Amino acid sequence: MRTSYGRGFTLVEVVVVIAVLALLLFVAVPSFASFLQNQQIRVAGDAIVNGLQVARAEAIRRNLSVQVAVNVPATGWTVSESASGALIQSRTHEEGSPNAIVATTPGGATTITFTPLGGVTSNADGSLPVNQFDLNFNNPGGLACQTVANKAGPRCLRILVTGGGSTRMCDPAVGPTAPPDPRACP
């Protein structure tokens, strides 16, 4: 006697698998969208910190003042010599973070100038240098950044620049903890 085994799947099995996959997809899509928003903000923050570090290193290496101009509200930037305007390096906001936006402090400032000693000075046009960059996700009508009290929305980042030229990226949604959390903004 020869035993015959069925081949393939029954219609009920296929429908059950599709239903389970649909349920998993329904649960995963909102988390994945949030993940992508947070990644774009992180990529934009890393890129701005990179641009600031390049400008500071080039100012020291060339023994000249070097400036970083940020394309507010987009996250692109340009590093150039302050006196001659010679381009050193640039980045467009489409490179990995097309939906991330940046706001600067003081308001309206878009440029920061590094001295040959690596510190920050007034810009060539006499304007105040940027000392803080706040990164968000361009989501009109969407959720605002996460806060210490409210963990909904994208996880926004802040970049701080000291007068000595050092940069630090931090998370304004991380509150005071004991022991202190290194991600928290001062």
Which domains can be identified in the chain, with CATH numbers? 11-99+106-129 (3.55.40)
Above 60 in pLDDT, residue 54? yes
- What digits encode the pLDDT tens for the residues 129-167? 999 998 888 765 555 676 656 666 678 889 999 989 999
- List Cβ neighbours of 121 (8 Å cut-off, separation of 6 or more): 65, 113, 114, 115, 129
- Produce one character per residue of 37-66: b if its CB has 16 or more CB atoms within 10 Å, e if not: bbebbbbbbebbbebbbbbbebbbeeebbb
- Residue 166's region, left for phi above 0, alpha for psi from -120 to 50, else beta, is beta
Confidence of residue 3 (pLDDT cuts 50, 70, 90): low
pTM of the entire predicted model: 0.79
Please report the pLDDT score of residue 149 as a whole number: 60
Please report the pLDDT score of residue 152 as a whole number: 64
The sign of the torsion formed by the CA atoms of 63, 47, 160, 67 equals positive
